[in-house]
Structure 1
Amino acid sequence: MVAALFGCWFRVGGARSALVGPVIPVGRTVVQISMSRSQVVLLGLGLLLILLLYVGLPGPPEQTSWLWGDTNVTILAGLTPGNCPIFYREVLPLPQARRVEVVLLHGKAFNSHTWEQLGTLQLLSQRGYRAVAIDLPGFGNSAPSEETRTEAGRAELLQRVLRDLKVHNAVLVSPSLSGHYALPFLMRDHQQLHGFVPIAPTSTQNYTQEQYWAVKTPTLILYGELDHILARESLRQLRHLPNHSVVKLRNAGHACYLHKPQDFHLVLLAFLDHLP
């Protein structure tokens, strides 16, 4: 290949040599490039390496959309009544409504809009679920509230939101920070919940093994494989819930629903579809 490309081999008195390279015309002058044998070999090896690298390099990564749902689903928005209104986004079931309704909380760096961007609200609507995503007090479009200073206040706030929005047979999805609200509610009012989906929530260490044993709510414990701190700590406590299953999302971190949205949605829908 090298000889064909560069024409650098010729004979002098019957012997082969590698002293002359290609002949390149420059105007009316002919310039002859001299190359040593070692230079020719190195150049040939370099070209071969480039060729191998070009063939062996992987193609560009697949472009995956963050949004995984029908963008044509209508998303309603509003504020709950009362002195400390809570902002919410809501979708209604497109086909025949299923029994349970999904309430989506959020982590510290997020708000209800996250579930719209991710396509979770749209997807739940397509599958026949009414779904409500709320902005916790002090996040998104919800003002801070003094009520959230106590555990009882946070549980009562969540209970009031469900009552104001006429949510029945609720399945509560609680990632990260929102465990600060979901767990007090679970311990006090778990009879109102038809299902619970904790995603590495905070505050799990605040309750005893006996308190967890008393909760009979069907629970899907979700966490990311790469979340080595909060996921492990919460899993250690949540395993005391008597009616639970555990799913670990591979190659996903703390906000596993963002890192692996399709896997998250498939697991969530499977849990919801099989609730009695």
Structure 2
Amino acid sequence: ANLLDFSDGSFIVQTIHSVSFPRLAVIFLHGQSFNSKKWEELGTLALLSENGYRAIAIDLPGENKLQGETALPIFLGYILSGRVAFLQQVFKELGLQQPVLISSSMSGRYSIPFLLASGEQLKGFVPIAPVGTKDFTTQQYQQVKIPTLIIYGERDTGLGTQSLQSLQQIPKSRVVMLLGAGHACYLDKPQEFHKALLNFLGELK
């Protein structure tokens, strides 16, 4: 894990060896009760690196389980503008230009506001049953211009189907439902998740 220091705190960046000339940068946000380490344990970061992508997973503010302490001030997690600014700062610090953003569950508090405010800074978006989708309007989603892959589990009748109703308003969106999977569908069906993700990334220009 690499520690990235900010002026107002620090957070863990968990990353697998980057390739010399990456096809794209892909940044992963974690769900509640997890941290960036989960994407490494799942083999996702290594798989993407093997396929030529720069794969990075970060800890969200207040979720820094690796250090055992709160990273950035936790209020950033509750102020919408602060969440957008946090991701913008992460992209700047890591030198990311138009990465693909992968966001599961609780991290929707960060990714959805960022998508609607600064979506042009992304090459693509992969929401996995994120929270907070109902806080915004159909018109806002219809203005999103980037390719979006919506992934959710068949058995996730809560956030999965709820977020789908909002996210499918994005014009360039497609949906992958992982059969037999629950809310953390990428953990229940990792092979199917990885296949869908790699197919989507391979189509981005």
TM-score range, shorter chain: over 0.9
Matched, 1:246 2:175: yes
SS at match of 2:174: strand
Matched, 1:90 2:15: yes
Matched, 1:168 2:100: no
For 1:132, which of 52, 56, 61 is the aligned residue?
A: 56
CA contact (8 A) 2:30 2:36 kept: yes
* Letter in structure 2 aligned against 1:243: K
Question: C-alpha distance in 2, partners of 1:137/1:155?
Answer: 12
CA contact (8 A) 1:93 1:124 kept: no
* Letter in structure 2 aligned against 1:130: R
SS at match of 1:157: helix
CA contact (8 A) 1:86 1:137 kept: yes
Aligned residues between the structures? 200
Matched, 1:156 2:85: yes
For 1:103, which of 3, 10, 27 is the aligned residue?
A: 27
Which whole-Å deviations, capped at 9, do the CAs of 1:45-92 have from their partners, x for residues lacking one? xxxxxxxxxxxxxxxxxxxxxxxxxxxxxxx52223321222111224
SS at match of 1:86: strand
CA contact (8 A) 1:227 1:253 kept: yes
Pairwise CA distance, 1:144: 4.8
For 2:158, which of 229, 244, 263 is the aligned residue?
A: 229
| Unpaired runs of at least 5, structure 2 | none
2:2 equivalent in structure 1: 77
CA contact (8 A) 1:93 1:127 kept: no
Matched, 1:185 2:114: yes
Question: C-alpha distance in 2, partners of 1:214/1:249?
Answer: 27
CA contact (8 A) 2:154 2:181 kept: yes
Which contiguous aligned blocks of 4+ residues in structure 1 show a shift greater than 6 angstroms?
none
Question: C-alpha distance in 1, partners of 2:140/2:5?
Answer: 31
SS at match of 1:80: strand
Q: Of the two structures, which has the highest relative contact order with CA contacts closer than 8 Å and spacing of 6 or more? A: 2
RMSD, matched Cα: 1.3
2:71 equivalent in structure 1: 143
* Letter in structure 2 aligned against 1:256: C
* Letter in structure 1 aligned against 2:165: R
Larger Rg: 1
2:134 equivalent in structure 1: 205
CA contact (8 A) 1:80 1:165 kept: no
Percent sequence identity over matched residues? 47
SS at match of 1:242: coil
Question: C-alpha distance in 1, partners of 2:43/2:160?
Answer: 24
TM-score in terms of structure 1 length: 0.70
Counterparts of 1:4-15 in structure 2 under 5 Å? none
1:256 equivalent in structure 2: 185
TM-score in terms of structure 2 length: 0.93
CA contact (8 A) 2:150 2:173 kept: yes
Which whole-Å deviations, capped at 9, do the CAs of 1:90-137 have from their partners, x for residues lacking one? 224447421x21000010011100001000011111001001100101
